[in-house]
Amino acid sequence: MGAYIVRRIAQGLLVLLLVSFICFVIFQYMGDPAWALAGRYATPKQLEMVRKKLGLDKPFYIQYLIFLKNALRGNFGMSFVSRLPAMQVILERLPATFELALMAMLIAIVCGVGLGVLVSVSPHSPASRLIMAGSLIGISIPTFLTGILLIMIFAVELRWLPPFGRGEVVRIFGNWRSGLLTWDGFRHLILPALTLSSYQLAVLLRLTRAGMMEVLGEEYIKAAWAKGLPQRAVLFKHALRNALIPVVTMIGLQFGELIAFSIVTETVFQWPGMGNLLLSAIFESDQPVIVSYITFVSLVILSLNLLVDILYVFINPKIRYV
């Protein structure tokens, strides 16, 4: 297990190195790196200083090493737009995205797995058919459309929930501002979280159902029924545990999707998160912010994937990493 984790971390570092190289190319060749570090409003003298400091006259690999050194310190230069350190600009938006993604994940996992089990128990009941039809729509409707339709229904027509923004936030610690602790903030979170969760919910539901249907036909489930175990024990302890393995794989694979769709959701709801920032950075050619975003998101995705792989061992004792 220890050796496996070390190997996985080494692999992750290799990928990060590759990502950093791509970022370096973006930084160096898609816009002037001197400007990237000094900011768009730098004086010619400042620019000259930065050029010298960056070593733009030095060979390619030295330039890359300098970039790496800066990257390790989290220094990706100044945002062209806000003229603040780019990584800081990204991290300021982290709480908004984190709360949105966490809430969406919770909804998707709880409802997806729960409904999946429910449907697998009585696959031919009208309720099950309705849920399955809903899940078909769920995997067939793009996230941005879900968001707009929810806004049209619940914000514009019914006026139950606010259509955009994050509402009232309170500072918990440091710069972490949370919207979860105020009623207004919570109300603002509902529609975006539902939007972001809808696709994953449908995917997890279908996967859980398929897994459960397969497992429920196995001999050991019949044995469990025969022993006279209560339904809840058979379903959740014996069946779900085995049906859950592909589901956990999928949850692990979906972190990237979740981050991608958070860009979409944040755009639809003008949610002040990292995805929203990335999109404006793209339109404003704010290279330092884009590069910081890519680096940060890569770090998050790689560590979450490692975490999920380690989790496997606890769900399925059959898996032994060597």
Instruction: State the Cα–Cα distance between residues 156 and 160, nearest whole angstrom.
Output: 8
Three-state DSSP class for residue 172: strand
Among 102, 152, 172, 181, interactor with other proteins by CB under 8 A: 152
Instruction: State the Cα–Cα distance between residues 276 and 269, nearest whole angstrom.
Output: 9
Instruction: State the Cα–Cα distance between residues 217 and 243, nearest whole angstrom.
Output: 12
Q: Which is nearer to other proteins, 61 or 283 (CB)?
A: 283
Does 5 contact other proteins by CB under 8 A?
A: no
Q: Measured from the CB of residue 90, what is the shortest distance to other proteins in angstroms?
A: 14
Whether 84 contacts 73, CB under 8 Å: no
Among 28, 97, 143, 208, interactor with other proteins by CB under 8 A: 143
Among 213, 224, 310, 313, interactor with other proteins by CB under 8 A: 213
Among 127, 137, 233, 299, interactor with other proteins by CB under 8 A: 137
Report 220-259 residues binding other proteins (CB under 8 A): 253-257, 259
**Which of 131, 108, 115, 110 is closest to 193 using CA atoms?**
108
Give the tokens for residue 75.
């220094």
Instruction: State the Cα–Cα distance between residues 80 and 84, nearest whole angstrom.
Output: 8
Instruction: State the Cα–Cα distance between residues 233 and 168, nearest whole angstrom.
Output: 43
Q: Measured from the CB of residue 146, what is the shortest distance to other proteins in angstroms?
A: 9
Q: Measured from the CB of residue 180, what is the shortest distance to other proteins in angstroms?
A: 25
What does the binding site for other proteins look like in residue numbers (CB under 8 A)? Answer: 11, 15, 26, 30, 136-137, 139-145, 148-149, 151-152, 156, 210, 213-214, 217, 253-257, 259-261, 263-264, 267-268, 278-279, 282-283, 285, 290, 294, 297-298, 301-302, 305
